[in-house]
Amino acid sequence: MRLRFIAILLVAFSIVFTLNACKKEDGKAGKASVKVINGAGATFPYPVYSQWAYKYEKLTRIKVNYQSIGSGGGIAQIKAKTVDFGASDAPLTKEELDEAGLIQFPMVIGGVVPIVNLPGVEEGSIKLSAKALADIYLGKIKKWNDPQLKQLNPDVDLPDKAITTVHRADGSGTTWIFTNYLSKVSDEWKEKVGFGKAVAWPRASSVAGKGNEGVASFVKNVEGAIGYVEYAYAFQNKMNYVQLQNKDGNFVKPVIESFQAAAANADWANAPGYYMVLTDQPGADSWPITGASFILMHKEQTDKDHARNVLEFFDWCYRHGADLAVKLHYVPVPEAVYTMVETTWKNEIRANGQPVWDK
Say whether pLDDT at 259 is over 70: yes
Q: What's the angle, vertex CA 146, arms to CA 242 and CA 180, rounded to 5? A: 50
Q: What is the pLDDT of residues 35-52, one digit of tens each?
A: 999 999 999 999 999 999
336 burial type by CB count under 10 A (0-12 exposed, 13-18 middle, 19+ buried): exposed
Share above pLDDT 70 across residues of the chain, in percent, rounded to a whole number: 90
The amino acid at 260: Q
Residues of the chain within CATH 3.40.190.10 domain(s) are 32-110+292-355, 111-267
pTM for the model stands at: 0.84
**At residue 281, what are phi and psi to the nearest 5 degrees?**
-80, 150
Q: Report the chain's mean pLDDT, rounded to a whole number.
A: 90
Q: Residue 203: what pLDDT?
A: 73
Say whether pLDDT at 11 is over 60: no
Mean pLDDT calculated for residue range 217-227: 95
* pLDDT band per the 50, 70, 90 thresholds, residue 4: very low
Say whether pLDDT at 32 is over 50: no
Sign of CA dihedral 24, 27, 29, 32: negative
Say whether pLDDT at 358 is over 60: yes
DSSP 279: B
Q: What is the pLDDT of residues 304-353, one digit of tens each?
A: 999 999 999 999 999 999 999 999 999 999 999 999 999 999 999 999 99
- CATH numeric code, 111-267: 3.40.190.10
* pLDDT band per the 50, 70, 90 thresholds, residue 34: low
CATH topology of domain 32-110+292-355: D-Maltodextrin-Binding Protein; domain 2 (3.40.190)
**At residue 261, what are phi and psi to the nearest 5 degrees?**
-60, -40
Q: Residue 25: what pLDDT?
A: 36
**168 close to 175: Cβ distance less than 8 angstroms:** yes
DSSP 36: E
